[in-house]
Amino acid sequence: MSDPKPESSPRQLAEDARDRVRFEEEALELSDQVYQVARRLSGSREEAEDLVQDTYARAFRAWRSFQPGTNLRAWLFRILTNLNIDRGRKIQRTPDQQPLEENDYFLYNRLEESTGDGNADEQRIVERLSQNDAVTALADLPHDFRDVVLLVDLADFSYSDAAQILGIPIGTVMSRLHRGRRMLKQDLAESAVEES
């Protein structure tokens, strides 16, 4: 697919090769970010590494379908999330139907309450959370919610980029993000209070 057309002139061939090299370099510069998200979409490091390699192999094969001047990062992440869906997600139980906290201050309030120190500053409060609990809480999110939380909160995509990457309406991005973040916080609040 990436072979130049037979009628191409030597000059076109050279330009083509130069564009391809530039494309590949630019894509590789984004690989840390691609890996970060892939790692959290996957159950293990090995799985994540396979996913990233498949993503780059596909991206390099399909480079001509990338429109120069458009968002390469979003284009790469679209390949990543599509491959992740294609490889067949593990069957997951339906998300808990337990009611979610309806307010946004509850994580802070819950942690402060269980700290028993009304004067603790917010840095000390956040230190009560454990890294492992955050990883577990994220892994436990239903996949559709986790995808959105990762794209917006880890990879810094806008709502509209996330919508394009996942092929869903922007309103769905917003509601999944909203709900996903709350599920994450509720889970973390429970772990932190249990551990104290």
Residues lying near other proteins in the complex (CB under 8 A) are found at 2, 17, 20-21, 24, 28, 31-32, 35-36, 39-40, 45, 49, 52-53, 56-57, 60, 103-105, 107-108, 121-123, 125-126, 129, 131, 134-135, 138, 152-154, 159, 178, 181, 184-185
CA distances (Å), origin 143, targets 41, 186, 190: 8, 17, 21
What are 72's two structure tokens?
Answer: 């390469």
Residue 56: CB minimum distance to other proteins, A: 5
Q: Which is nearer to other proteins, 73 or 185 (CB)?
A: 185
CB-CB contact of 72 with 29 (8 Å): no
Instruction: Please identify, using beta-carbon distances, which residue of 21 and 94 lies nearer to other proteins.
Output: 21
Min separation Cβ 148 and other proteins, Å = 12
Q: For other proteins, which is the closer residue by CB, 78 or 188?
A: 188
Q: What is the DSSP string of 91-107?
A: P-PPPP-PPPP--SSHH
d(CA 189, CA 87): 33
Instruction: State in angstroms the smallest separation of the CB of 51 from other proteins.
Output: 11
Look-up of token digits 């991206």: 59
Closest separation in Å from C-beta 35 to other proteins:
4
Largest CA distance in the chain: 77
CB of 186 to other proteins, least distance (A): 13
Using the minimum distance from each CB to other proteins, give the nearer residue, 94 or 102.
Answer: 102
* Contact predicate 74/161, CB 8 Å: yes
C-alpha–C-alpha distance, residues 73 and 29, integer Å: 10
Please identify, using beta-carbon distances, which residue of 94 and 132 lies nearer to other proteins: 132
**Minimum CB separation from other proteins for residue 75, in Å?**
16
Q: What count of other Cβ atoms lies within 10 Å of the Cβ of residue 167?
A: 10
98 or 132: CB nearest other proteins: 132
Distance (Å, rounded) from C-alpha 19 to C-alpha 14? Answer: 9
